[in-house]
Chain A
Amino acid sequence: MAERVLMKGNEAIAEAAIRAGCRHYFGYPITPQTEVAAYMAKKMPKIGGVFLQAESEIASINMVYGAAAAGMRVMTSSSSPGISLKSEGLSYIAGSDVPAFVVNVQRGGPGLGGIQPSQSDYFQATKGGGHGDYRMIVLAPASVQEMASLTVKGFNLADKYRMTAMILADGTIGQMMEPITFEDAEVETYDKPWALTGTKMQRPHNIVNSLYLKADELERKNFERYERYKVVEENEVMYEAYMMEDAEICVTAFGIAARVAKNAVVSARREGVKAGLIRPITLWPFPAQALRRAAEQVKSFVCVELNMGQMIEDVRLAIECTRPVSLCNRTGGMIPSPDQVLSAIRAAQKGVN
């Protein structure tokens, strides 16, 4: 078995990216994700890769766009305000159908906000922070181990579907250390006949582009892209169900909120309250079916988030409001305590008894 090592979540992302074959990193410093850049700055020159600190988040995402178009596994990482700046580039990357890997280690917002952990970029990530019809695959790790495994997965999915895969983490998971093991990364490779390699005078020129001035052509492109998204929705949903077999209360939470929620579910069980947890690992595609099935069984839902209530909208949509859904949240960098979540579970139980 591979050795257990102690690593920060941010470092785990960087190491996993390298193992996934990423040799190009473009970024701009921002707390609390700077360890990703620092790790890359140290490692890349030693393995023949490129680390480049760009002049801005805007420049770095456009460097990613260029590198992705050149057919390389490439990434950038940032935190909330930086992701807002990168959103323009994310829209272009989506419109050009090139694969990219982007990390958002979230901090509190809006505006400059704070630097403490947050999950308030859920809307931005899952509904599209940039303009236009597009989706990104959004992966929400809840441990340092998942920071690594979902990074490898993210690179594979990005290449497979020619779209952006985003890790939506938060300051806690980014900054904390846990033991992890790096199993041999299962690196999938995909042909990229569309890539900019130079024609070598052997083929017609490739064009990477998101401009379609003819409305019918742009519409066709969008329809085609959403056909691909449909395949993602059918095949790539990931979630964890914990103590759901006989649950009467379903707690929903992702990332660090799910870690806290899990503690609360255990406490609730000790009190005889049949609580369970559904933790979406992919926020898009969202595990709507799993929640729909849960709604047939449970009496009530509690959605735990580090924001003012964002994922709760998708939970309500998924279950078509057939069950009450209550929000248990903190924001601005605060994290709900297991006791707060336990109280919310108790309240939900009372509400249905």
Chain B
Amino acid sequence: MKTTQILIAGFGGQGILFAGKFLAYKGLLEDLQVSWLPSYGPEMRGGTANCSVILSDDPVGSPIITDPDVLIVMNLPSLQKYVDTVVPGGQIYVDSTLISEKVSRTDVEVRCIPATQMASDAGVPTLANMVMMGHVLKNNPQLTFDGAETTVRKLVPPSKAQLVELNMKALQAGRDYQ
């Protein structure tokens, strides 16, 4: 695959970093070169959080993303902050439950999905992040849904095995959303 630069952003507590970890682990299991870089700081909950994931066949140079190929946003401030950084021809994924504003750019592919609402409806209200991921895997030409479950199993500690099923439920909901 070519180098894919993915920026995920939202509030702390939405599982932004975990979503990025999911993509990074998936890349690891697919023998790709991977980097995962979180924003870090005192904003553990409620503040802004973002995370940069780079997947590539070649060794990753700078892990810092200035022009993402894919932007995944789960709150309005993040959309406003990063919308103009996406490369032309790139993709923007928007949690439309939390962001009602329209994306004005026409040179990128915009996909809106009410992930927070869907997660709530599916009985997994804390896993809107994984609904988003399911949708991204399905609709990004560089990524694939195959191997999602193996990745989840790798990420979830054995003591919390029941979470595998819940994460898969969220991922599948995102995948199946049209």
Give A contacts to B, CB under 8 Å: 4-6, 31-32, 115-116, 171-172, 175-179, 256, 259-260, 262-263, 266, 335, 337-339
Contact B61 A177 (CB under 8 A): no
A338 and B63 alpha carbons, distance in the complex (Å): 11
A4 to B28, CA, bound (A): 8
- Complex Cα distance, B108 from A117, in Å, reads 31
Known pairs A4-B28, A6-B25, A6-B28; A176 contacts B37 (CB<8 A): yes
CA of A4 to CA of B61 in the docked complex: distance in angstroms? Answer: 18
Interface of A is mostly: mixed
Look across to chain A and name the residue whose beta carbon is closest to the beta carbon of B32: A179
Closest chain B CB from A250 CB (angstroms): 18
17 more A-B residue pairs beyond the given contacts A172-B37, A178-B35, A338-B61, with a C-beta to C-beta distance below 8 A:
A6-B24, A6-B28, A6-B36, A171-B40, A176-B38, A177-B36, A178-B36, A178-B60, A179-B28, A179-B34, A256-B63, A259-B62, A259-B63, A263-B61, A263-B62, A337-B66, A339-B66
Give the B interface residue count (CB, 8 A).
20
B99 at the interface (CB under 8 A from A): no
Q: Is B117 an interface residue (CB 8 A)?
A: no
A144 to B34 CA separation, bound complex (whole angstroms): 11
Q: Is the CB of B35 within 8 A of A177?
A: yes
User: Which of A172, A178, A259, A335 gathers most chain B CB within 10 Å?
Assistant: A178
Determine if B66 and A172 form an interchain contact, defined as CB atoms under 8 angstroms apart. no
B62 touches A176 (CB 8 A): no
B21 touches A338 (CB 8 A): no
Find out whether the CB atom of A176 lies under 8 angstroms from the CB atom of B61.
no
- Check: B76 CB closer than 8 A to any chain A CB: no
**Shortest Cβ distance from residue B73 to the other chain A in the assembled complex, whole angstroms:** 21
In angstroms, Cα B50 to Cα A175, docked, is 13
Query: Would you list 11 pairs from A and B whose C-beta atoms are within 8 A, ordered by A residue?
Result: A6-B21, A115-B41, A172-B64, A176-B36, A176-B37, A178-B63, A259-B63, A260-B61, A260-B62, A260-B64, A339-B66
The answer to whether B33 has its CB under 8 Å from any CB of chain A is: yes
Enumerate chain A residues within 8 angstroms of B35, measured Cβ to Cβ: 176-178
Find the B residue at minimum CB distance from A265. B61
B21 touches A177 (CB 8 A): yes
Where the two chains meet, the residues of B that have a C-beta atom closer than 8 Å to any C-beta of A are: 21, 24-25, 28, 31, 33-38, 40-42, 60-64, 66
Give chain A residues whose Cβ lies under 8 Å from the Cβ of B64: 172, 256, 260, 335, 337
Chain B: minimal CB distance from A139 (Å): 19
With a 10 A CB-CB cut-off, give which of B21, B42, B60, B61 has the most chain A CB atoms: B61
A175 closest partner in B (C-beta) = B40
Which one of A31, A259, A263 lies within 8 Å of B40 (CB-CB)?
A31
Q: Give every chain B residue within 8 A of A177 (Cβ-Cβ).
A: 21, 24, 34-37
Q: Within 8 Å CB of A171, what residues of B?
A: 40
A115 — which chain B residues lie within 8 A by C-beta? 40-42
CB distance from B153 to the nearest CB of A (A): 14
Q: Which of A32, A175, A266 contacts B61 (CB 8 A)?
A: A266
Once the chains are docked, how many angstroms separate the CA of A61 from the CA of B64?
33
For B25, give the chain A residue with the smallest CB separation: A6
CB distance from B42 to the nearest CB of A (A): 8
- On chain A, the residues within 8 Å of B63 by CB distance are 172, 176, 178, 256, 259
| C-alpha gap A287/B82 in the complex (Å) | 40
Chain B CB count within 10 A is highest, among A31, A172, A179, A266, for A179
CA distance A266 to B59 in the complex (A): 13
Nearest CB on B from A342, distance (A): 12
Residues of A within 8 A of B21 (CB): 6, 177
CB distance from B124 to the nearest CB of A (A): 24
Kindly report which residue of chain B lies nearest to residue A339, judged by CB atoms: B66
CB <8 Å contact, A175 and B37 = yes
A337 to B5, CA, bound (A): 15
Task: Please name the residue on chain A nearest to B34 by beta carbon.
Answer: A179
A31 and B36 alpha carbons, distance in the complex (Å): 18
Which chain B positions have C-beta within 8 A of A175?
Answer: 37-38, 40
Chain B contacts of A178 at CB under 8 A? Answer: 34-36, 60, 63
Q: A4-B28, A6-B24, A259-B61 are in contact. Are A338 and B66 (CB under 8 A)?
A: yes
Nearest chain B CB to A121 CB, angstrom units: 18
Are B34's CB and A6's CB within 8 A?
yes
